[in-house]
Amino acid sequence: MTSPTPASVASLIAFGSDAFTAGLLSSTCGNASVRLDAETLLISGTGTRVQDLAPDQLSTVRIADGAVLAGPDASMETSMHRQIYALRPDVGAVLHCQSPAATLLACHKSPPTNLDLIPEVPAYVRRHAYVPWAMAGSEALAASVAGALVDPDVTVVQMTNHGQLICGATPAAVLRRGVFFEFACTLWAQGGDALRTIPAGDAESLRAYGRGK
């Protein structure tokens, strides 16, 4: 197991700050983490403002069982993060946020399943999924989100009446996905079913291009 390095600490702090600058976070909503190695992750502590993290607000957590190895009490959503890292070895960073338009659709009675409105969505978001309401911080929610991410093309999970879970190889990849997903949700919120989507075959080509990016 790896202890946090100054670089990993700085990476998570910058991740939270950049997510706020990108408009994905507000107040104390959300949580963020980075993978340290196959066995451990570094995550924002419970009740912290992810955009203003300090080194002493970060928790080192064992992926296998959620044990806090160093630092304060971890985020209440830690189980969700660690299940994702256990399931998806390609994931190196995870962000739970509540960006405005995306959260609007997470609360919508009939949210869109296809948001391939601009090329960047199939290329960089690839696919999104919805999971039903479950209590924040619950094992039921963590298991539901992990189940949606069994599909390796899914990188964004919309949690009903809760917000978004975005994963990627790096914090930069997560933030790019979050920004493009929020933009697509904003377009849909304004135009709804009147909007055209990219032809299915072209969208699949863009998804193939984006895998590994």
Extract the tokens encoding 108.
Answer: 């919508």
Q: Look-up: residue for tokens 């409105």? A: 117
For the chain, the domains span 6-210
> If pLDDT is split at 50, 70 and 90, which confidence band does 1 have?
confident
Is residue 28 pLDDT above 80, yes or no? no
Secondary structure (DSSP) of the chain = -PPPPHHHHHHHHHHHHHHHHTT---TT--EEEEE-SSSEEEEEBTT--GGG--GGGEEEEETTT--EEESSPBPTTHHHHHHHHHH-TT--EEEEE--HHHHHHHT-SS--S----STHIIIII-EEEEE----TT-HHHHHHHHHHTTSTTEEEEEETTTEEEEEESSHHHHHHHHHHHHHHHHHHHHHGGGS----HHHHHHHHHHHTT-
Is residue 168 pLDDT above 80, yes or no? yes
Taking the C-alpha atoms of residue 139 and residue 201, their distance in angstroms, rounded to an integer, is: 37
Is residue 26 pLDDT above 90, yes or no? no
> If pLDDT is split at 50, 70 and 90, which confidence band does 71 have?
very high
The C-alpha angle 204, 207, 212, rounded to 5 degrees, equals 150
> If pLDDT is split at 50, 70 and 90, which confidence band does 212 have?
confident
Per-residue confidence (pLDDT) for residue 2, from 0 to 100: 77
CATH 3.40.50.2000 fits domain 6-210: no
Is residue 72 pLDDT above 80, yes or no? yes
73-88 residue pLDDT tens? 999 999 999 999 999 9
